[in-house]
Amino acid sequence: MLYPPSPTYYYSYLDNDPTIPQGINIVFANNGNLYNEIVNNQNYTAPGRQGWAASQNASDSDFSQKLRQFFPDIYIDYLTKKYYNNPKFPNASWETRYGWFLWNVRSGLLHELGHNFNLAHSTCTRKVMYQKYTGDRNYFSNVDISRMYWAASTTSLRKYFTENSFKKNNINVTSDEVWDLNFRLYSNVKIDNNSSLKATCKIIMAPQSRFIVKNGSNFIIEGAEITSANNSSWNGIKVEGNGYLLINPNTLINSNHFYAYADNTPLSSGKSDDNNTNNINQDIITDNTLTSKGYKIYPNPTGDFINIETKNKVSKVEVYNLLNKSFNLKYNDNRLDVRNLPQGNYILKIYTSSEIKTINFIKK
């Protein structure tokens, strides 16, 4: 018997045992002395099961970690309830006493499962996790489920979820957000309401899922890594209307299943295609040059000037940040002076007599 609780009670040495599958493993152990008294000596007045159980929290750094629950003396508790006539309840039938045993096991498994999903004792009682204002109960609340979902997205729990975990609803981004915490997602991500989402983290997507960039919104991928859970298929990034997708340098997209599309037209390998005749409002950086249907700006990123190449005569240019704040900059002979801009992501509007072209750029 390993008590008081310590790292050893998790049986950590079993982590490298290939015969134990990854998942939440449940370990039942017996105190040898108690087992000898009850089984061999038939001394059912000996102390029963220990009044504690333990579980392992999911890790937010070690994604290869196995998880387990540890329950000492469950079998001893079963024998004690079966053969020991408790003086407090002298007439209790075996069915009643067996019900007590099952209640302990079932509630204990659920309770420790909550800890496996990073729910703390601040939201639990002797039974199952609960919110303090709701009182005692034997189920998980919607808040509990939400926290468990979050833990499954951001910790080592993510690897235990399968393609069947996909939900057809959306994670809605309706205000400017930066994602810098590694995720595994089980839903589509919809960027809407003229919002901007910037991703700088690792994102594992369900194969059935996609990012949807709605009209007027932006999706910026900078130094991020987007992969599919099955590493072979994915529904990609869909850009609608005049939504914009910007993939900055040092972003890992070297996978055969990464792609972006608009108007149901894929962009090969996530790169823009100048010969594409469809109206694709989508700008992707390649080799420090950004090309978008007859317009090219360079260098990008830039620290001082942006050059604009186009066959059309430019009447004026405007620069906005992602919060729609405008900046008055010097522009002359297809050259824009951005030296006074703070570092960040910006939107360049190029006006000609026939159209307005919008292209994203980075000030470094």
The residue assigned the tokens 């000037």 is: 305
CA distance readout (Å), 151 to 10, 131, 132, 140, 218: 20, 17, 21, 15, 27
Q: Read out DSSP for 145-212?
A: HHHHHHHHHHSGGGGG--GGG--SSEEEE-S-EEE-S-EEESSEEEE-TT-EEEE-SEEEE-TT--EE
Say which residue, 153 or 86, is predicted with more confidence. 153
Residue type, 286: T
DSSP state of 252: B
Q: Are 201 and 181 in contact (CB under 8 A)?
A: yes
| Class (C level, CATH) for 290-363 | mainly beta
pTM of the complete model: 0.55
Average pLDDT of the residues in 198-211: 89
**Distance of alpha carbon 219 from alpha carbon 184, whole angstroms:** 18
The answer, yes or no, to whether the previous bond of 301 is cis (omega within 30 of 0) is: yes
**Least-confidence region, from 33-42, 84-93, 117-126, 166-175:** 117-126
pLDDT in tens, 50-101: 667 888 888 888 887 888 888 888 888 888 888 876 777 778 888 998 988 8
Residue type, 184: R
The residue among 278, 279, 277, 307 whose CA lies nearest residue 295 is: 307
Q: What is the pLDDT of residue 286?
A: 36
Q: What is the pLDDT of residue 33?
A: 82
Q: What is the pLDDT of residue 305?
A: 93
**Distance of alpha carbon 285 from alpha carbon 298, whole angstroms:** 10
Cβ count near 248 (within 10 Å): 20
Say which residue, 266 or 190, is predicted with more confidence. 190
The answer, yes or no, to whether the previous bond of 4 is cis (omega within 30 of 0) is: yes
Those residues with Cβ within 8 angstroms of residue 177's Cβ, 6 or more apart along the chain or in another chain: 195, 196, 197, 198
Q: Strand order in 331-332's β-sheet?
A: 290-291, 295-298, 305-310, 335-337, 331-332
Which secondary-structure segment (H or E) carries 74? helix 74-83
DSSP state of 37: I
The distance in angstroms from the start CA to the end CA of the chain is 60
The residue among 146, 171, 151, 173 whose CA lies nearest residue 161 is: 151
